[in-house]
Structure 1
Amino acid sequence: MKINVIIADDNSFIREGMKIILSTYDEFEVLATVEDGRQAVDYCSAHHVDIALLDVRMPNMNGVEAAKLISGQTGAAPLILTTFDDDEYILAAIQNGAKGYLLKNTEPERIRDAIKSVYHGHIVMQDAVLDKIKSNLKENKEPELKVDRSLFTERELDIMGFIAKGLSNKEISKELFISEGTIANYISSILGKTGLDHRTQIAIYYLTGKTNF
């Protein structure tokens, strides 16, 4: 069974180029290409779509708004295609139902793998995009806490915050004046409480409150 995909981008070159790329893979069926978020929502509402590839900046309705409606009203999974100029939209998109973020200059094989991963229920966040989030957090004010505080100790919350900012265990140990081994134990506890697998997922969870990777 093929994975049904639509592509939404107001740039016809990118839109048609992505269609050509995805059509070279046997596992995908590109059902349609559309020019804006509203058309993407309407198409997903009327057809069986598995993955909606959405640009962020589009006329009539942007990718964040479209992701929210597609996620909430249809069976399709929204996957954002972005440039670094769109980084202010990253968290908003994830919070509104997007199942991942890909850069437009990503290699075709990685785009293929990301679509398949999202199709199987995972969230995809490229390291480059996650690093961009961490960089912004270091430069700007602390993010609004999205996690359930009652699940964690204050120390665990502190460590999750540092992980979300991109600090290593060694750097966290210097910040908190405790050993790297103790940091590792706290991280193991956090993973156990959340059912997550690794620190990158902890960072995304801390930033979005979502654990369904």
Structure 2
Amino acid sequence: MSINLVLADDDTLIRESLKIILSSDKDINVTGCFEDGKSAVDFILNNEVDIALLDVRMPVLNGVEATKEISKRTKTKVIILTTFDEDNYIKDGIAYGAKGYLLKNTHPEKIIKTIHIVNDGNCVFQDEIVSKISNQFSNSSNTVSSIDKSKFTERELDVMKAIADGLSNKEISQLLFISEGTVKNYITSIFQKTGLEHRTQIAIYYIKGHL
């Protein structure tokens, strides 16, 4: 089944390069390319689009504000592209409904894989993004260190802390001497108990004590 995708980036070279790369996948149909967030939003409101791949910094309407409009008014799933110096946008993008967050230097194959994963209803956030969220809140004067621990097992709290520290499932399994499958089971249990949808939210939940 074809994935209708819209791409928005104000850098012409990046935009056109991504279009060529993504179009190489037989299941991805790039239906529109735009240099600002507003043009992308306007197109999505009037067309059937499955995935929107948005740059953070764009004129007229940036990627985060575009994500807010798209998530609120359509069923299109948003994946945001960012760079290491755009920490302040990450939290808002997640709060506004972004289903994926990738660094711009991500390998093309990983971007294509992420598009498929998000289209299937899952969320994808690179470990580097989780680490940045953790550091952002850890350095904040508003950080709340305590959460309601009564609803979680000791091992679930260990997994939550490890996620907040930016560890991958493989690293968590090595740290806690359990299998990756067991780590996934603990994460599923945490999702069920909190109503959260992805590991970045778990990191925020653990560090702040709430969303």
Flag whether TM exceeds 0.5 (same fold). yes
Whether the aligned pair in 2 keeps the contact of 1:160 and 1:203 (CA below 8 Å) is: no
2:25 is aligned to: 25
**What secondary structure is seen at the aligned counterpart in 2 of 1:75?**
coil
Q: Measure the CA separation in 1 of the matches of 2:205 and 2:58.
A: 24
Output aligned runs, 1:60-99, within 5 Å.
60-99=60-99
TM-score normalised over the length of structure 2: 0.76
Per-residue CA deviations over 1:176-209 (Å, capped at 9, x if unaligned) read xxx999xxx9x9777525338xxx9455334269
State the one-letter code of the partner of 2:36: D
Whether the aligned pair in 2 keeps the contact of 1:68 and 1:97 (CA below 8 Å) is: yes
- Give the CA deviation at 1:99: 0.5
Per-residue CA deviations over 1:127-149 (Å, capped at 9, x if unaligned) read 1211222233333335479x9x5
CA-based RMSD of the aligned residues comes to 3.3
Q: Measure the CA separation in 2 of the matches of 1:129 and 1:116.
A: 19
Structure 2 residue 201 is matched with structure 1 residue 204? yes
Whether the aligned pair in 2 keeps the contact of 1:83 and 1:104 (CA below 8 Å) is: yes
Structure 2 residue 95 is matched with structure 1 residue 107? no
State the one-letter code of the partner of 2:161: F
Whether the aligned pair in 1 keeps the contact of 2:9 and 2:54 (CA below 8 Å) is: yes
Q: Measure the CA separation in 2 of the matches of 1:167 and 1:17.
A: 30
Q: Measure the CA separation in 1 of the matches of 2:10 and 2:129.
A: 22
Per-residue CA deviations over 1:141-165 (Å, capped at 9, x if unaligned) read 35479x9x59836979975773454
Unaligned runs of 5+ in 1: 169-178
Output aligned runs, 1:31-180, within 5 Å.
31-143=31-143, 152=151, 162-166=161-165
**What secondary structure is seen at the aligned counterpart in 2 of 1:26?**
coil
Unaligned runs of 5+ in 2: 168-175, 207-211
2:192 is aligned to: 195
Whether the aligned pair in 2 keeps the contact of 1:7 and 1:54 (CA below 8 Å) is: yes
1:174 is aligned to: none
Q: Measure the CA separation in 2 of the matches of 1:6 and 1:100.
A: 14
1:9 is aligned to: 9
Q: Measure the CA separation in 2 of the matches of 1:61 and 1:11.
A: 15
**What secondary structure is seen at the aligned counterpart in 1 of 2:98?**
coil
Distance 1:7 1:167, change over 3 A: closer
TM-score normalised over the length of structure 1: 0.75
1:173 is aligned to: none
Which has the larger displacement, 149-158 or 126-135? Answer: 149-158
Paired positions, count: 190
**What secondary structure is seen at the aligned counterpart in 2 of 1:78?**
strand
Q: Measure the CA separation in 1 of the matches of 2:56 and 2:205.
A: 18
1:172 is aligned to: none
